[in-house]
Chains A and B, each alone.
Chain A
């Protein structure tokens, strides 16, 4: 099964951009790359997803490498409310979700 690899933790300052990396070197051609985040004591919530092209929404941007073996979630101006565990997930055929370990993001005021 394809897996994702993320750094265990990252730290940034408020109002600065944050780049969260994810490696998925064994990704298949039809696997979608999803990013979710989990705030303390809550279920994961959707952030963004893509297949091949870079994607933008009101929460973040997703940059996908040309070979699709890695991706980067970009938070353009981090706030304290963005402190969470961020998961990079591959969604394979028949909806099998493969979660990485997640990156714990700390935002300093």
Chain B
């Protein structure tokens, strides 16, 4: 089954404790991205990657890092989480970058930073 998986699905942590949210897709997609969703603000793009070792900032990259060492994985790293990063996070992938193809979204990771 074609899917995007995220782990963990729920996470409670404390300010400053580094964490990584993993994202993996099994569709051999080149493009992957991360979003955060906050009440009243909708979905905002954090980072995206057009291929292995190619990443770029979205609209709200501050406080986040990403890496794309393998095509299937695109982890989101919070080096020093803060309470304003409490949010619902989604990973997405698609087969190409022109906009002609569907985006597939993961189930989401709900993060609470105390």
Chain A residues with CB below 8 A from B79, complex form: none
In contact, A34 and B90 (Cβ under 8 angstroms): no
**Chain A: number of interface residues, binned into ranges:** 20 to 34
Give the distance in Å from the alpha carbon of A96 to the alpha carbon of B33 in the complex.
9
Pick from B58, B94, B102, B105: contact of A96, CB under 8 Å? B58
Pick from B42, B45, B58, B90: contact of A102, CB under 8 Å? B42
Given A46-B103, A87-B42, A102-B42: A95 and B50 interface contact (C-beta under 8 Å):
yes
Looking at chain B's contact residues, is the secondary structure mostly helix, strand, loop, or mixed? Answer: strand
Stretch at the interface among A37-45, A64-72, A76-84: A37-45
How many residue pairs bridge A and B at CB < 8 Å?
65
In contact, B100 and A94 (Cβ under 8 angstroms): no
Given A43-B90, A95-B50, A96-B58: A34 and B103 interface contact (C-beta under 8 Å):
yes
Pick from B94, B100, B103, B107: contact of A42, CB under 8 Å? B107
Restricting to B80-114, which residues have a CB under 8 Å from any CB of A? 90, 92, 94, 97-100, 102-108
- Beyond A36-B105, A43-B106, A46-B103, list 10 extra A-B contacts (CB 8 Å): A30-B98, A32-B99, A32-B100, A43-B92, A44-B103, A49-B102, A91-B99, A94-B50, A97-B35, A99-B44
Interface residues of A (CB under 8 A from B): 30-32, 34, 36, 41-46, 49, 51, 87, 91-92, 94-97, 99-102
